[in-house]
């Protein structure tokens, strides 16, 4: 923090974004912007509806999907118009649900408050939170965000994943029981129908989980066309929610209404929803002692929002996305404080920057811009080839197109493309020629269509979905439990803490399998005993963080261990681990090494050309290998861009493939003869 120069960061952010504010609205790619808008709308709306159902259960109906959707839409519209970084997606997130659950349980246990003044007291918590966020923004606190290293981010991500899974399991179990405050005499609560409801919940939740995980990886399928695989990967999960909801109506007519159990939330025009707009009137009824006591949870929430919002913004504008417009961390925290105050005064749970939706938004816009550049460059390159132009003329034409379409281009970004074109044969051998249609994707820089329209439109769609509550209420609760489990499992790949835990369960004789596939760089650079030691420390610390969430009232302090981790990382861990090993295990970027024996299709290895497309099979393989597929391989499920490298010289990449396969066969032969393969196979000696 820089106390000596208050407002410095905010002023710089406003000046930087004001210079390009007009362009944010002008360059929107016309109707093509609807594709990423629709994509991110579904990615935002579904979790918000699920969190609304969770809040409804935890707060006895004081909050529901109506309030979570309203907050997401309201904050999204404000941020898309007035925010500093328009690529950042806002929404009600799991940490907010956890904190509001603790606030409600606290109010219920206080006679002076009770559940009746829960939203009024939460309003005071939001006011204090807003004031703290204002101070953090004014005194340039965003400069310390870099102290939250990978270990903190991955612990937080793992905690949220476990809480998602915990909620899914609790939800499925609750389907076998009668909900609170329900009439036990109703037919649907008789034993046989209650038991059937529980069995259907297992079927629908597991069905939703398995099919959602399958559809998420549709781009890697061998079957169907590229656009259909892309459509399934992008929109498969919301379509599956509709499919399983439709299947829930296929039960026999003799089954009573209410089996399977469905979402419950009031309509926006009912008194339970309309009350939120007048919560500010009840804030004066909160005893003075509790107004000041609200400062304690506000400290936790302010710290949590500061961390979560800044990390989401950081992920949305990673340097590998090559964004051309400046960031606005300080100003966005100031605006977040204002939105938190507005939500508190309206009785709504506040929204903040969310993961993985924010980097997903950037990635979808990168695909859009990449397609536009690619199409024009390929068109002009084909014209040059048709007129038998030289390689230098061919590259010159493609470079001119790139420079024309980019506002602030750098020729260095096309150095790899230039090298590939110049090295291609000028002669008549078609096999050695540079084919722009097939080869350009390996060298095309990532470009993002930076604008505000997609964020504004998706926020408006979230707002319009409030009017579709009658349709949302048709979704079985069991489908949402499956969706919670899907969110938990889908967030694990790319989390190095999770990958290291899995590594501990691989026997020494099978660890060579890790090197065969793409793997994190620390696997080759850090000895296994240090990986195990660091992972066990992280696991024990995770158990502490998770244990805090089970403490009834003090659970509201669950963000505290993450703040303490800053000091632990700076002062304690360097004494326990070698600095080089610690740097690898707690790196700021996700560095991945391509697997040795397999042809990696990832195009994020700078300067590496794809294999010759001489065969028909390879031609078919590359035929529909476009932007979305490429960027999927470049990013983790969390939206973090991978830095893909190889563990040996790139000039010998394809030559080493065959040599490695031969050595693998040799290792297998001697292993079956009873020898120690670790001695024979050099890359494994470190194990």
- 81-85, 178-182, 462-466: segment of lowest average pLDDT: 178-182
DSSP 520: E
Cα separation, 258 vs 190, in Å, equals 12
The reported pLDDT for the residue numbered 588 is 56
Answer whether residue 653 shows pLDDT above 60. Answer: no
Report which of residues 350 and 403 the model is more confident about: 350
Rounded-to-10 torsion of CA 198, 199, 204, 206: 100
pLDDT, residue 680, reads 43
Q: In angstroms, rounded to a whole number, what is the distance separating the alpha carbons of residues 633 and 23?
A: 30
The pLDDT tens digits of the residues spanning 128-137 come to 999 999 999 9
Q: Taking all residues of the chain, what is their mean pLDDT, rounded to a whole number?
A: 79
Name every residue whose Cβ is closer than 8 Å to that of residue 103 and which is 6 or more positions away in sequence.
118, 121, 122, 125, 297, 556
> When comparing pLDDT for 210 and 614, which is higher?
210
pLDDT digits over 424-456, tens only? 655 444 445 667 666 666 566 666 778 899 999
pLDDT mean over 53-69: 90
Q: Nearest Cα to 164, choosing from 480, 484, 483, 477?
A: 484
pLDDT in tens, 230-249: 788 878 888 999 999 999 99
pLDDT value for 291:
95
Going across the sheet that includes 590-593, the strands are 519-520, 590-593, 642-645
Give me the pLDDT at residue 224, please. Answer: 80
Tokens of 547: 């244990």
Is the pLDDT assigned to residue 200 strictly greater than 90?
A: yes
411 burial type by CB count under 10 A (0-12 exposed, 13-18 middle, 19+ buried): exposed
Mean pLDDT value of segment 408-413: 55
- Nearest CA to 359 among 602, 39, 585, 603? 39
What's the token pair of residue 307?
A: 């961390």
Is the peptide bond between 356 and the residue preceding it cis, with omega within 30 degrees of 0? yes
Q: What is the CB neighbour count within 10 angstroms for residue 178?
A: 13
pLDDT value at 662 more than 80: no
Go through the chain and tell me how many residues it has.
687
Q: What is the mean pLDDT of residues 13-39?
A: 83
- Concatenate the DSSP letters of all residues of 544-604 into one string: HHHHHTTSTTGGGGTTHHHHHHHHIIIIIHHHHS-HHHHHHHT-SSEEEE--SSS----S-
- The percent of residues above 90 in pLDDT, for the chain, comes to 30
Whole-angstrom Cα distance, residue 71 to residue 347?
Answer: 10
Percentage of the chain surpassing pLDDT 70?
A: 76
Both tokens of 121, joined, read: 């007291």
Exposed (0-12), middle (13-18) or buried (19+): which is 183, by Cβ within 10 Å?
Answer: exposed
Q: Provide the pLDDT for residue 172.
A: 93
Phi, psi of 593 (to 5 degrees): -110, 130
**Whole-model pTM?**
0.76
Which is it for the CA torsion 549, 47, 492, 242, positive or negative?
A: positive
pLDDT of 335? 96
The answer, yes or no, to whether residue 642 has pLDDT greater than 70, is no
pLDDT (average), residues 347-374 = 79
The residues that bridge with 593 in the sheet, in sequence order, are 519, 645
pLDDT value for 371: 65
Average pLDDT over every residue of 557-585: 85
Span 207-221, average pLDDT: 89
pLDDT at 619: 38
In contact, 51 and 480? CB cutoff 8 Å: no
Average pLDDT of the residues in 399-418: 64
Q: Give the ranges where 491-526 is alpha helix by DSSP (H).
A: 496-504, 512-516, 522-525
Highest mean pLDDT among 359-363, 473-477, 592-596, 656-660: 473-477
For residues 173 and 170, what is the distance between their CA atoms, to the nearest angstrom? 5
Is the model's pLDDT at 94 over the cut of 80? yes
């Amino acid at each position: 923090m820089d106390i000596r120069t208050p407002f410095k960061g905010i002023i710089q952010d406003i000046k930087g974004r004001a210079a390009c504010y007009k362009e944010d609205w002008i360059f929107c790619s016309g109707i093509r912007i609807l594709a990423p808008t629709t994509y991110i709308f579904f990615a935002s709306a579904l979790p918000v509806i699920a969190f609304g159902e969770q809040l409804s259960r935890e707060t006895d109906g004081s909050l529901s999907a109506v309030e979570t959707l309203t907050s997401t839409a309201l904050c999204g519209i404000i941020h898309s118009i007035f925010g500093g970084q328009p690529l950042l997606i806002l929404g009600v997130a799991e940490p907010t649900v956890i904190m509001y659950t603790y606030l409600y349980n606290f109010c219920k246990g206080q006679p002076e408050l009770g559940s009746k003044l829960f939203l009024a007291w939460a309003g005071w918590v939001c006011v204090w939170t807003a004031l703290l966020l204002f101070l953090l923004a004014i005194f340039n606190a965003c400069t310390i965000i870099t102290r939250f290293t990978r270990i903190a981010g991955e612990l937080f991500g793992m905690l949220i994943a476990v809480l998602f899974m915990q909620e899914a399991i609790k939800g499925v179990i609750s389907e076998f029981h009668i909900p609170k405050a329900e009439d036990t005499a109703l037919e649907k609560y008789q034993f046989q129908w209650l038991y059937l409801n529980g069995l259907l919940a297992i079927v629908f939740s597991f069905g939703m989980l398995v099919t959602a995980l399958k559809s998420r990886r549709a781009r890697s399928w061998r079957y169907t066309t590229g656009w259909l695989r892309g459509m399934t990967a992008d929109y498969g999960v919301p379509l599956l929610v509709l499919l399983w909801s439709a299947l829930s109506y296929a039960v026999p007519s003799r089954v009573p209404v209410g089996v399977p159990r469905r979402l419950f939330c009031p309509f926006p025009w009912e008194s339970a929803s309309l009350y939120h707009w007048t919560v500010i009137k009840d804030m004066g009824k909160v005893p003075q002692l509790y107004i000041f006591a609200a400062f304690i949870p506000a400290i936790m929430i302010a710290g949590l929002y500061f961390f979560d919002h800044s990390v989401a913004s950081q992920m949305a504008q990673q340097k590998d996305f090559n964004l051309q417009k400046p960031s606005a961390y300080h100003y966005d925290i100031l605006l977040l404080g204002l939105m938190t105050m507005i939500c508190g005064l309206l009785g709504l749970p506040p929204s903040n920057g969310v993961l993985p939706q924010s980097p997903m938004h950037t990635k979808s816009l990168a695909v859009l811009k990449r397609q536009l550049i690619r199409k024009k460059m390929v068109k002009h390159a084909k014209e040059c080839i048709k007129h038998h132009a030289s390689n230098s003329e061919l590259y010159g034409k493609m470079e001119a197109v790139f420079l024309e379409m980019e506002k602030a281009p750098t020729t260095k970004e096309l150095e790899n493309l230039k090298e590939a074109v110049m090295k291609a044969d000028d002669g008549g051998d078609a096999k050695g020629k540079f084919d722009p249609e097939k080869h350009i994707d390996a060298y095309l820089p990532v470009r993002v269509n930076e604008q505000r329209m997609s964020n504004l439109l998706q926020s408006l769609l979230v707002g319009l979905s409030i009017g579709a509550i009658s349709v949302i209420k048709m979704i079985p609760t069991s489908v949402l439990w499956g969706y919670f489990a899907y969110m938990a499992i889908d967030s694990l790949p790319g989390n190095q803490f999770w990958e290291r835990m899995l590594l501990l369960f691989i026997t020494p004789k099978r660890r060579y399998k890790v090197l065969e596939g793409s793997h994190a760089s620390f696997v080759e650079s850090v000895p296994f005993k240090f990986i195990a030691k660091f992972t066990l420390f992280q696991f024990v610390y995770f158990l502490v963080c998770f244990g805090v969430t089970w403490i009834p009232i003090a659970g509201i302090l669950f963000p505290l261990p993450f703040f303490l981790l800053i000091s632990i990382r700076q002062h304690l861990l360097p004494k326990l681990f070698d600095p080089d090993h610690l740097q690898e295990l707690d790196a700021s970027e996700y560095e991945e090494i391509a697997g040795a024996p397999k042809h990696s299709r990832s195009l994020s290895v700078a300067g590496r050309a794809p294999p010759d497309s001489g065969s028909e099979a390879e031609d078919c393989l590359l035929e529909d290998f476009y932007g979305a597929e490429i960027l999927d391989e470049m990013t983790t499920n969390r939206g973090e861009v991978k830095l893909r490298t190889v563990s040996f010289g790139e000039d010998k990449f394809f030559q080493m493939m065959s040599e490695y396969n031969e050595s693998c066969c040799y290792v297998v032969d001697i292993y079956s003869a009873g020898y120690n393969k670790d001695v024979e196979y050099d890359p494994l000696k470190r194990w």
